[in-house]
Structure 1
């Protein structure tokens, strides 16, 4: 069983030729509403990429609006247990405004809505679910007090705890010490290590940041590098996993797809290297498609590419 704790959003996606300059009005192209949110994306990726259906549950909050109804239906479509997905009266569901340019790169603005209502009490109400889990997955699009409480509980139960530290923010050392895997992208890794929000240059700089994160208590650190692959610091040292060559149309949810593939493979009993490669293959398929959850492949699609 995999339990994902985190955000659920409706993505409002517009294709644009390029990102607009400040104050500029720019005519775009196709517009779509697509289920998203880092938590829900990762839950869907875990569900679609696991060997068996019905192995994923989510703990989250939705608004009592039309988006909330649609987002819940989307989770159920992938056989995700929504028992602990709470509808919050008087609140709107989370929304993300996403612009995707001609190169497939994206820019995202978030309105958290009901995601901000996810509380430690909701985590306590799901104690029995967390106790049954093999892996617990979190991100940073819900309140930090809730994230800390969930990590402490999952760690106390001896679970594999995976944190995707996005959006990047400072994290206490005692929280980092309780993680089994920290999976940032290169910008998030640098910011966690106290550097500015810029991409890391070369493996030497990436490895230095990984060393800093490990010194804070993160034994296993996987830095996702997009088309450059994954730099992974595991028990036997730092390894590089090259990305599969692919033509990127839209990179939205590529990182979430990688995490879902990696976690699904771990939960299915695969070793770390095989799990990383599996996540890489899933992410490579996702960037050839438009949208968040609409881009996430199913396990059978990956098996067809072997």
Structure 2
């Protein structure tokens, strides 16, 4: 058995669907509303669990509120056979909340109230050190505090666990943090925010990747939406774009999270980074054809079909 570890956020997602996304100062009637389980960390844990093989164990470390949303989440994650012994419920805190606006083309705008996610910290990681020691890969995002991100990366590095950072939502990252990252997976918007390079073609994708390499990151995967993903590995020649299957997207909320979970599963199975990205492109291409966050994430047999 191998262990895949996800550290990060969990949110209750309030999803509002519109014909077009509201502009500043504009009020629009919502076409549909639903409450869903989300949060980038939780989405990635669910994606990893649904796409893994039987020899892989999935563990999730998160901080939840002391409320009904947390109870609902823990029950759902258990049904996906995720080890939630590292999911803490924090007294006098609410579970994280997200407001998600989605248009008819599947594009979205998201606002987040972090709630208990801000409470996740080094003391929780120390209590779960055995999971870090056992894990082959750890996947983390930026919806918890930067101190917690750095602490988790340091502990993973201590145990020689390969680290994957999905830098979302984008925020300034120190070289100290980036030096702890083995694989970074920004999208085009996040790559621009972190490197100052607008990734509008392969040349600029290469420039953005070079920035991360110079900061100590060995492998860079820049997700490009419907165009696929740009992959660059230090010392392995020129990077390349791995195209994605062509689909009709209706909701992109959890596409990136599905991609990251799928990529980690494939890497743990011994696939090359480019092969892992092909697998991840397939998974995320299915996710965008469905509504919702965790409800859109496919199971492995659906990729085989």
1:92 is matched with which residue: 91, 94, 118?
94
* SS of residue in 2 equivalent to 1:59: strand
The answer on whether the counterparts of 2:77 and 2:84 sit within 8 Å (CA) in structure 1 is yes
* SS of residue in 2 equivalent to 1:55: strand
Map of 1:136 onto structure 2: 138
In structure 1, what is the Cα distance between the partners aligned to 2:14 and 2:56? 28
In structure 2, what is the Cα distance between the partners aligned to 1:16 and 1:190? 27
The answer on whether the counterparts of 2:288 and 2:296 sit within 8 Å (CA) in structure 1 is yes
Change (3 A) 1:192 1:289: same
Shift of 1:13: 0.5
Map of 1:216 onto structure 2: 215
Shift of 1:24: 2.1
Map of 1:303 onto structure 2: 304
Q: How does 1:63-74 map to 2 (within 5 A)?
A: 63-74=65-76
Map of 2:280 onto structure 1: 279
* SS of residue in 2 equivalent to 1:134: strand
Q: Which runs of 5+ in 2 are unaligned?
A: none
1:37 is matched with which residue: 36, 39, 43?
39
In structure 2, what is the Cα distance between the partners aligned to 1:23 and 1:42? 34
Map of 1:227 onto structure 2: 226
Q: How does 1:89-128 map to 2 (within 5 A)?
A: 89-128=91-130
Shift of 1:203: 1.5
Map of 1:207 onto structure 2: 206
Shift of 1:271: 2.1
Change (3 A) 1:54 1:92: farther
Deviates more, 1:222-231 or 1:269-278: 269-278
Shift of 1:53: 7.2
In structure 1, what is the Cα distance between the partners aligned to 2:110 and 2:124? 27
CA-based RMSD of the aligned residues comes to: 1.2
Q: Which runs of 5+ in 1 are unaligned?
A: none
Does 2:3 align with 1:4? no
The answer on whether the counterparts of 1:47 and 1:53 sit within 8 Å (CA) in structure 2 is no
1:185 is matched with which residue: 187, 192, 201?
187
TM-score by length of 2: 0.96
The answer on whether the counterparts of 2:121 and 2:151 sit within 8 Å (CA) in structure 1 is no
Map of 1:162 onto structure 2: 164
TM-score by length of 1: 0.96
Deviates more, 1:231-240 or 1:163-172: 231-240
The answer on whether the counterparts of 1:14 and 1:28 sit within 8 Å (CA) in structure 2 is yes
The answer on whether the counterparts of 1:54 and 1:81 sit within 8 Å (CA) in structure 2 is no
In structure 2, what is the Cα distance between the partners aligned to 1:21 and 1:178? 39
Deviates more, 1:236-245 or 1:50-59: 50-59
In structure 2, what is the Cα distance between the partners aligned to 1:148 and 1:3? 15
Map of 2:294 onto structure 1: 293
Deviates more, 1:93-102 or 1:202-211: 202-211
